[in-house]
Amino acid sequence: MPRRIEAQTRVNVEVELLWRTFAEEYSVSWPKVNPEIVTNVEILQGDGGLGSLILLQFKPGGPTVAYQKTKIVECDKEKHQLGLQVLEGGHLSNGFTKYETYFKLTPLDDSNTLVDVAVECEPLMSPEEENQEAGEEELKAKTTNFPLLFFERLEAYLNKHAAAG
């Protein structure tokens, strides 16, 4: 059964810096922000924008899989929107048949950004689970908790480097 899980967080970083670091410089920034999880991000096909295929390699002992192939299915710099579809590995190896994550960054003022996260997924469920609502908290833990943690860490990383620079 298709599901949509949404979450939101406020980040104390200006929207253009947050967008550039998150959506344009991801091959460098993602491993720096989450070195205990992501060891490498490689662009397999494309220019890094819409339609590009990227490979995320995970640290042994981190996620239960070694990698994730992802396609950028939405990339709108003006609206600060990014959509990622898992094609192989990652969540597709961990109980989902479909997994897409959409991000929207909205400026609140000159130094704060609202981050909206929406995950569209299809968890593998037994017939018994289909008949009952799968635990929303468990599903949130498997879907939106990591993106929220990522932005918390990205905020700390950017503010630390802004203070140092």
Give the tens place of pLDDT for each residue, 28-85.
Answer: 999 999 998 899 999 999 999 999 999 999 988 766 789 999 999 999 999 999 999 9
- Alpha helices by DSSP H, listed for the chain, are 15-19, 26-33, 127-131, 136-143, 145-164
The whole-model pTM stands at 0.90
Rounded to the nearest 5°, which phi and psi values hold at 83? -125, 135
Domain carrying residue 118: 3-164
pLDDT, tens digit, 9 for 90 and up, residues 122-147: 998 655 555 455 567 788 888 999 89
Domain count across the chain: 1
For the chain, how big is the Rg over CA atoms in Å? 16
Rounded distance between C-alpha atoms, residue 97 and residue 142, angstroms: 14
Q: What CATH number does the domain containing 35 carry?
A: 3.30.530.20
Cβ 96 vs Cβ 109: under 8 Å:
no
Residues belonging to the chain = 165
Which residue reads 């939405």 in tokens? 74
Strand-strand pairing, 112-123 and 38-45: unpaired
